[in-house]
Structure formats: C-alpha cells, structure tokens
Amino acid sequence: MHVLILGANGFIGSHLSEAILARTDWHIHAMDLAEDKLATCLSHPRFHFKNGDMTKEKEWVSEQIKICDVVLPLVAVATPALYVQDPLRVFELDFEANLDIVRQCALYQKRIVFPSTSEVYGMCPDTEFDEEKSHLVTGPINKERWIYSTSKQLLDRVIYAYGGHKGLSYALFRPFNWYGPRLDNVFNPKPGGSRVLTQFIGNILRGENITLVNGGAQQRCFTYIADGIDALLRIIENKNDRARNRIFNIGNPKENISIRQLAERLIQLIVTHYPKYAAAAKSVKLIDMDAKAYYGDGYQDVSLRVPNINHAKTHLGWEPAVDMTDGLRKTLDFYLAS
Ligand code: UGA
C-alpha cells in the first residue's frame, strides 16, 4: 500500500510515519515544510519525502494522490490562540487548502483519511460525545475561536457528501487532546503559543508561573499519542472495509481531568522524578486569569469534552491502553530527561 501524508513533520504525522515504517510494509509519500521531527524516517527506503509547501507544490501533490492508495491531509493550524489571532490563516490552510485535496481524492477515487477534531462538538452539553447523535454547538461569529471547529465541520460534511453522492471512500477521525513527545515546542515563550500540556511544561522549564484560564475547572480527556496512532493504523489498514465511510472519536474517556489537576499532576511528577527541575517546579504558582485577558475577546471555552468510543471499539477493536501517569512520564522524559 502507498500512503500519502501531507504534514508528515507534524506531531501526528511524525509519529504515524514512524509507526508505519516500523509495523507495516507500506510505502509513505510525504511532504512538509520542515523535517526536524523525521530523523528516524528520512533515510528509510520506504519513506519518499519532499520538503515543500503543499499549497505551492500543487503538481507534486496531484501526482502523489494519483499514485497513492490512501491520502492523509494532516496540514493544519491546531493551536487555539491562533484561531483568535489569525482566523483567516486557519480558514485558508485548514479549510481551503484541504478542500482542494478532498476534491482531488474524489476526482481520482482515492481513499481519504481525514483529521476531524474533538473541537467540532464545541460546547455540546452531552456528557459523552457521540459521532452520530451529538449536536455540534458553536458560539456567535464574534467568538472567532470557532473558525477552526466550523472549518473542520464543513470539511467533514463535504467529505460525507462526496461519500454519499460521488462514491468517495473515506474515514474521519477525531483526536481528543492527543499528547506526547514532539507535541509542541516547549521553548515557545508566548502565552497560548502551544497547547496546554506543552505550555505548562514550558512554564515550569522557564521558571514561570502557570496560568489557569478561568480557574482551570474545564476538563479534557488526554489521550497518549501511541494510543491515537494505534487507532489510526487500524483505520488506514481498513481490514474488511471496517473503517469505510465511518467517523471515529479517538480519545481516552477514562483520563478526564481538569486543567488545574493537570497542572498539579505535572508539578508533582516533576518534583518526584526529575531532580534537575524539582526546585523550579516547587516554586511554580498557579495563577487564575480570565479567558478574555489571556486569549482576547474572540475566545470561548469548552468545559467538558468526553468521547464515546464505542464506535472505535466495535469497528476497529481499539481502546486506549496508556494511562496518564505513564503517558506524562514518557512525555516528560522526552522534554526533560537530557
Ligand atoms: C485543542 C485544540 O483546538 C486542538 O489541538 C485540537 O483540535 C483539540 O483541542 C484536541 O486536541 O482535541 P483545547 O483543548 O481547548 O483545544 O486546547 P489547549 O490549548 O490544549 O487548552 C486546553 C485548556 O487549557 C483550555 O481550556 C485553555 O483555556 C486552558 N489553558 C491553556 C490554560 O488554562 N492555561 C494555558 O496556559 C493554556
């Protein structure tokens, strides 16, 4: 099988590339602007990489779509601070650039495995989000945070329509706060410059206090990257067509914790296991800040985000296996143990 990964140097793309090369005989055709996360893949004979911008290298991208069996367009902005700072970039990249890829998959009848997001459920009041029943609830237009959610949602709907009306074969997967090594750059000092876990690790490394937006009572189900990749491999493999034209929540409902608890657990783990950073971690204070002051007017938050994963259990035989203590230790080893 030949798999095209656009955005192979990203968090998901780099872990997926490694896993495909280690665990399958598939070929990977890949593009990204950078290659720093792909050190273990670049010289592999089944890894065919081109450094470039997929929005400019259109001819190359089309050629690869024609020769590949499955296409994963993973290029996207996925950091909430950027949704409110630069919403047009989110629309242009996450929506427009990917729409072009979706259309080509439909044209050349190639299977697409598309990264939807837990964000599509927005502020849905359900205690567990269901792929086929839950309502997708976003805020007013002046809450610009939702441009990411709605861009992804419209692409989900377009892909679903191509599936139903033009014979496109697809699978949509919705990561729920995947984390692990290589998530974001912890040396980015900008508040909101990365997702919450790497933001907090960076805060501790730099000896800064941790900011809890609106007090940190909001909850997330953190899912370790290896579990996510395990699900993704099953989706791409598509044994007996079991993933065909389905949507999968890929998250860990057992690891539902508040952002305040996340900060406390991180500090406690670092104090206990990473002596080099123990003093810095001990001196960190948790500071409350309202969302408007941290992100600006265009932000709105999600207070509870728990996936129902029955679909993935039934059709893929998948469930998460890595608990948060283990996952956080592996992540901290990557960022701190040097
Ligand atoms: C994320 C991002 O939108 C995407 O990465 C992705 O599509 C999706 O969710 C996912 O991975 O499932 P969110 O969980 O809100 O959204 O993003 P984070 O930046 O990781 O923030 C999590 C929570 O921590 C938010 O409530 C935020 O306000 C809070 N936070 C963040 C703080 O309290 N302090 C900080 O310094 C940063």
pLDDT (mean) for 209-225 = 98
* Paired strand residues for 174: 249
What span, in angstroms and rounded, lies between the C-alpha atoms of 287 and 291?
Answer: 12
Q: Ligand 1 in contact with 38 (CB < 6 A)?
A: no
Q: What percent of the chain has pLDDT over 90?
A: 95
Distance 146 CA to ligand 1 centre (A): 13
Examine the pLDDT at 54 and tell me if it is beyond 70.
Answer: yes
Q: What percent of the chain has pLDDT over 70?
A: 100
What span, in angstroms and rounded, lies between the C-alpha atoms of 168 and 106?
Answer: 5
Q: Ligand 1 in contact with 216 (CB < 6 A)?
A: yes
Q: Which residue has the tokens 């970039």?
A: 89
pLDDT (mean) for 281-297 = 96
pLDDT 10s digits, 10-46? 999 999 999 999 999 999 999 999 999 999 999 999 9
pLDDT (mean) for 61-79 = 97
List CB contacts of 78: < 8 A, sequence separation 6 or more: 117, 148, 195
Distance 133 CA to ligand 1 centre (A): 24
Q: Ligand 1 in contact with 304 (CB < 6 A)?
A: no
Distance 57 CA to ligand 1 centre (A): 31
Examine the pLDDT at 75 and tell me if it is beyond 80.
Answer: yes
Q: Which of 153, 198, 259 to mutate to test the pocket of ligand 1 (most atoms within 8 A of CB)?
A: 259
What span, in angstroms and rounded, lies between the C-alpha atoms of 109 and 309?
Answer: 29
Q: Ligand 1 in contact with 119 (CB < 6 A)?
A: yes
List CB contacts of 62: < 8 A, sequence separation 6 or more: 104
Examine the pLDDT at 96 and tell me if it is beyond 80.
Answer: yes
pLDDT 10s digits, 3-12? 999 999 999 9
How high is the pLDDT of residue 51? 98
DSSP 52: S
Q: Ligand 1 in contact with 21 (CB < 6 A)?
A: no
Examine the pLDDT at 192 and tell me if it is beyond 80.
Answer: no
Q: Ligand 1 in contact with 195 (CB < 6 A)?
A: yes
Residue 337 pLDDT level (bands cut at 50, 70, 90): confident
For the entire predicted model, the pTM comes to 0.97
pLDDT (mean) for 119-128 = 98
pLDDT (mean) for 68-88 = 96
How high is the pLDDT of residue 144? 97
Q: What is the mean pLDDT of the chain?
A: 97
Q: Ligand 1 in contact with 176 (CB < 6 A)?
A: yes
Q: Which of 138, 151, 44, 180 is nearest to 89 (CA)?
A: 151
pLDDT 10s digits, 139-191? 999 999 999 999 999 999 999 999 999 999 999 999 999 999 999 988 877 77
Q: Which of 11, 98, 119, 264 to mutate to test the pocket of ligand 1 (most atoms within 8 A of CB)?
A: 119
Distance 196 CA to ligand 1 centre (A): 5
pLDDT (mean) for 234-258 = 98
- CA nearest ligand 1 atom 5, residue: 78
How high is the pLDDT of residue 335? 95
| Number of continuous H segments (helices) and E segments (strands) in the chain | 13, 13
How high is the pLDDT of residue 193? 77
What span, in angstroms and rounded, lies between the C-alpha atoms of 282 and 138?
Answer: 38
What span, in angstroms and rounded, lies between the C-alpha atoms of 147 and 153?
Answer: 10
